[in-house]
C-alpha cells in the first residue's frame, strides 16, 4: 500500500462507475456471505458463518438477471484461499458486469473502452490496438502445436490430465509471449465453467475470452450458459473432480440452477480491478494499490 | 519432501539429480486453471541456472546439502585446508574447486562451506573481507580527485582498482561479490 497507489485506485473506481452510469448499467451490491461458493476444480473458498465467502459475485448476479435487470454490474470484494503472489491476493476487488443480448465481441469493445477510461484516470498511455486471437492460434504460432488434435503427451509427456498439461504449456510458453493488449478466445471446452460450448466445429470450444494487458490476465468473459440441465451436469462433474482431488465438494446452489434456466441470453465478464489499476499504471504487482489484508506467505 | 508452498528464495532442492538453490519464485494461476509456482534456480556446484515450473501439489526433494562454519587454515599448493569450528575436523579442498574464491581467503578467516552428499562443493564468503596490499605505486598525498584510480595487487593475488592516495601494504575492505575496493582499514 502507498498513498499514490490508493489515489490511483480511487480515480479508476470513480471513472469505472461513471462509465457504467453512462452506459445504462445498474450497480447491484450482492452478499459477501453465500450459501454456495463457485463450484470449480481450482477455486478454494473461505468458510464462514455457516456458509462461504464468495469467490465471485457471479451466482448472485445471475439471480438478478433472472429477476429482470438486463444490464448490471458490481464492484465486489471477493475471497479466494491459497492465492498469494505479486498478482494475487486472497481478498481482492472484482468488477463483474452482465449485459443481456450482448455477444462476446460486444464485451471486448466494452473492455477496450473501460481500459481506456482507466488509463485516462491515471494519466497513462492507452493501448493503441487490441489483438483478438484464439487459444489454438496461439499454440500453433508459439509452439507449432495443433491444439485441436494434441493429446497429453504432445503437450507434456506424463502429465496427469489434459487440462493440467494444457495449463503447464500455457504458463511456461504461451503467457510469457503475451505483450500489449490481447483478447484470447475459444478456450478448450473442458474449461467452460459457466460458459456455452460451441460444438459446430471439429474441436468444441468454450464461448469464452480472457483479456490480457502486458501479460497480466485482466478479465474472463462468458457467453453465459442458460441451460439448467447442462449447468447441473457440470456442477456435479466439478464436484466429483474436487472430491477426487481430496477437496470438499461444495453444495449445488439450487436457486442458481433455477436462475440459469430463466435468465435471458447474456454475456458476462469478471475483471480484476486491482490488476486493472496496477496494469495500466505499469506496475509489477497489485500490492501498492490495495490495503493489505490477511497476508499469505508469499505475497 | 517440500511442498510448492515451501518454495522460498534460498531453499535448496534436488532437481534432475543436481542440487540447486531457489533464486526467484512467483505464484501463477490462470483463471480457470490449476496453480503453479514459476522458479529460477542456481546450481550449487557450478552456478548454472535453471527455470522450472512446479504444479501445486508436486513435491520437491530437498538437496542433500549441509553447511558448516569453517576456518581457513592454509594452502599447500594442491589443497586449501579448512577446520570445522564446531568439531575441529579438517577438510582439504582442491585448488581447482576453490577457484576464484582463493582471491579473498586469508588465514583464520571464517567461511561457510557447503557439502553435497558429503563432498565440499562451495565456499560462501562474507560480503566484505579485509585484505592487505602486496604491491601498489606509492600514494599521492592530497589527491582526492574523484574517479582517479591505480591498480593494487593484494596479498591473495587479487587485483583491485584503488584511489590514488592509497599506500603500499595498507589494509583494504573489499566487497567479495564485486571484487571492488570499499574503503581503507586502519590496522
C-alpha cell at A63: 439471480
For residue B42, the SS3 value is strand
CB–CB of A55/A250 below 8 Å? no
Domains of chain B (ranges plus CATH)? 2-62 (2.30.30.30), 65-124 (2.40.50.140), 128-185 (2.40.50.140)
DSSP at A175: G
pLDDT at A297 over 80: no
Which residue is listed with cell 483478447?
A183
Residues 6+ apart with CB under 8 A from A150: A139
Measured between CB atoms, which of B25, B29, B33 is closest to A88?
Answer: B29
For residue A108, the SS3 value is helix
C-alpha cell at B137: 605505486
A49 and chain B: CB distance < 8 Å anywhere? Answer: no
A173 and chain B: CB distance < 8 Å anywhere? Answer: no
- Give the chain A residue whose CA is nearest to the CA of B57: A245
Decide if A297 is inside a domain: no
Pick from A17-21, A46-50, A268-272: least confident? A46-50
For the CA atoms of chain A, what is the radius of gyration? 19
Cα angle, residue A255 at apex, residues A251 and A256 outer, rounded to 5°: 80
- Band the pLDDT of A298: cuts 50, 70, 90: very low
pLDDT at A53 over 80: yes
The pairing of beta strand A130-134 with beta strand A181-188: parallel
A110 and chain B: CB distance < 8 Å anywhere? Answer: no
pLDDT at A149 over 80: yes
- Cα(A210)–Cα(A183) distance, integer angstroms: 6
Mean pLDDT over A2-10 rounds to 93
C-alpha cell at A276: 486493472
For residue B153, the SS3 value is strand
Q: Identify the pLDDT of residue A250.
A: 86
- Give the chain A residue whose CA is nearest to the CA of B7: A298
Number of structural domains chain A divides into: 1
Mean pLDDT over A267-284 rounds to 96
Length of chain B: 187
Decide if A295 is inside a domain: no
Measured between CB atoms, which of A84, A85, A171 is closest to B30?
Answer: A171
Please give, rounded to a whole number of angstroms, the shortest distance from the CA of A130 to a CA of chain B.
Answer: 20
Q: Identify the pLDDT of residue A41.
A: 84
- Cα(A19)–Cα(A117) distance, integer angstroms: 8
Question: For an interface test with B, which of A156, A164, A167 has the most B Cβ atoms less than 10 Å from its Cβ?
Answer: A167
Measured between CB atoms, which of B27, B29, B55 is closest to A164?
Answer: B55
A209 and chain B: CB distance < 8 Å anywhere? Answer: no
Decide if A298 is inside a domain: no
Question: For an interface test with B, which of A44, A82, A171 has the most B Cβ atoms less than 10 Å from its Cβ?
Answer: A171
C-alpha cell at A48: 464462514
- Cα(B73)–Cα(B81) distance, integer angstroms: 6
Which residue is listed with cell 453512462?
A22
Summarised one tens digit per residue, pLDDT across range A80-139 is: 998 888 999 999 999 999 999 999 999 999 999 999 999 999 999 999 999 999 999 999
- Chain A residues touching B27 at Cβ < 8 A: 83-86, 88, 298
Residues 6+ apart with CB under 8 A from A69: A26, A28
Decide if A205 is inside a domain: yes
Q: Identify the pLDDT of residue A130.
A: 98
Summarised one tens digit per residue, pLDDT across range A203-216 is: 999 999 999 999 99
pLDDT tens per residue, chain B (187 residues)? Answer: 999 989 999 999 999 999 999 999 999 999 888 899 999 999 988 889 999 999 988 999 999 999 999 999 999 989 999 999 999 999 999 998 888 899 999 999 999 999 998 888 889 899 999 999 999 988 877 666 667 889 999 999 999 999 998 989 999 999 999 999 999 998 7
B135 and chain A: CB distance < 8 Å anywhere? Answer: no
**B53–A85: do the CB atoms touch at under 8 Å?**
no
ipTM: 0.83
B55 and chain A: CB distance < 8 Å anywhere? Answer: yes
Decide if A53 is inside a domain: yes
Residues 6+ apart with CB under 8 A from A231: A194, A225, A256, A257, A260
- Cα(A157)–Cα(A200) distance, integer angstroms: 30
Please give, rounded to a whole number of angstroms, the shortest distance from the CA of A164 to a CA of chain B.
Answer: 7
- Band the pLDDT of A299: cuts 50, 70, 90: very low
B28 and chain A: CB distance < 8 Å anywhere? Answer: yes
Which CATH number is A107's domain given? 3.30.930.10
pLDDT, mean over chain A: 94
Decide if A126 is inside a domain: yes
Measured between CB atoms, which of B34, B38, B53 is closest to A42?
Answer: B34
Q: Which of B104, B6, B110 is nearest to B61 (CA)?
A: B6
Instruction: Provide the domain limits for residue A92.
Output: 3-289
DSSP at B24: E
Mean pLDDT over A275-286 rounds to 95
Amino acid at each position: 500500500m502507498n498513498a499514490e497507489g490508493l489515489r490511483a485506485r480511487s480515480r479508476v473506481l470513480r471513472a469505472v462507475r461513471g462509465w457504467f452510469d453512462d452506459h445504462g448499467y445498474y450497480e447491484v451490491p450482492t452478499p459477501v456471505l453465500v450459501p454456495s461458493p463457485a463450484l470449480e476444480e481450482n477455486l478454494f473458498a473461505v468458510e464462514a458463518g455457516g456458509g462461504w465467502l464468495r469467490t465471485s459475485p457471479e451466482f448472485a448476479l445471475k439471480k438478478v438477471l433472472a429477476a429482470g435487470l438486463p444490464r448490471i454490474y458490481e464492484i465486489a470484494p471477493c475471497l479466494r484461499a491459497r492465492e498469494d503472489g505479486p498478482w494475487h491476493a486472497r481478498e481482492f476487488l472484482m468488477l463483474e458486469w452482465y449485459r443481456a443480448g450482448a455477444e462476446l465481441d460486444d464485451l471486448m469493445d466494452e473492455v477496450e473502452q473501460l481500459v481506456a477510461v482507466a488509463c485516462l484516470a491515471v494519466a497513462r498511455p492507452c493501448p493503441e490496438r487490441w489483438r483478438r486471437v484464439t487459444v489454438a492460434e496461439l499454440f500453433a504460432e508459439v509452439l507449432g502445436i495443433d491444439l485441436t488434435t494434441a493429446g497429453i503427451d504432445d503437450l507434456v509427456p506424463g502429465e496427469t490430465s489434459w487440462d493440467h498439461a494444457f495449463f503447464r504449456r500455457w504458463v511456461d510458453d504461451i503467457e510469457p509471449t503475451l505483450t500489449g493488449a490481447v483478447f484470447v478466445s475459444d478456450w478448450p471446452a473442458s474449461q467452460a465453467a459457466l460458459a456455452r460450448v460451441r460444438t459446430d466445429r471439429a474441436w468444441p470450444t468454450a464461448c469464452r475470452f480472457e483479456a490480457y494487458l502486458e501479460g497480466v490476465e485482466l478479465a474472463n468473459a462468458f457467453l453465459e450458459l442458460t441451460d439448467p440441465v447442462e449447468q447441473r451436469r457440470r456442477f456435479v462433474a466439478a464436484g466429483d473432480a474436487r472430491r477426487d482431488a481430496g477437496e470438499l465438494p461444495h453444495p449445488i446452489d439450487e436457486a442458481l440452477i433455477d436462475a440459469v434456466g430463466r435468465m435471458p441470453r447474456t454475456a458476462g465478464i469478471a475483471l480484476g480491478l486491482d490488476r486493472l489499476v496496477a496494469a495500466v499504471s505499469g506496475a509489477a504487482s497489485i500490492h501498492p494499490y490495495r490495503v493489505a489484508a490477511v497476508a499469505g506467505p508469499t505475497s | 519432501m517440500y511442498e510448492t508452498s515451501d518454495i522460498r528464495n534460498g531453499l535448496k532442492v534436488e532437481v534432475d539429480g543436481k542440487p540447486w538453490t531457489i533464486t526467484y519464485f512467483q505464484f501463477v494461476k490462470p483463471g480457470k486453471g490449476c496453480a503453479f509456482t514459476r522458479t529460477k534456480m542456481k546450481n550449487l556446484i557450478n552456478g548454472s541456472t535453471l527455470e522450472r515450473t512446479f504444479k501445486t501439489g508436486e513435491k520437491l526433494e530437498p538437496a542433500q546439502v549441509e553447511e558448516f562454519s569453517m576456518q581457513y587454515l592454509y594452502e599447500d599448493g594442491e589443497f586449501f585446508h579448512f577446520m570445522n569450528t564446531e568439531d575441529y575436523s579438517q577438510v582439504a579442498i582442491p585448488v581447482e574447486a576453490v577457484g576464484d574464491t582463493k582471491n579473498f581467503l586469508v588465514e583464520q578467516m571464517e567461511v561457510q562451506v557447503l557439502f553435497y552428499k558429503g563432498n565440499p562443493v562451495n565456499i560462501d564468503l562474507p560480503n566484505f573481507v579485509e585484505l592487505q596490499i602486496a604491491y601498489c605505486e606509492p600514494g599521492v598525498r592530497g589527491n582526492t580527485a574523484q574517479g582517479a584510480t591505480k591498480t593494487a595487487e593484494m596479498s591473495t593475488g587479487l587485483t583491485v582498482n584503488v584511489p590514488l592516495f592509497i599506500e603500499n601494504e595498507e589494509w583494504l575492505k573489499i566487497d567479495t561479490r564485486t571484487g571492488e575496493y570499499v574503503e581503507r582499514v586502519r590496522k
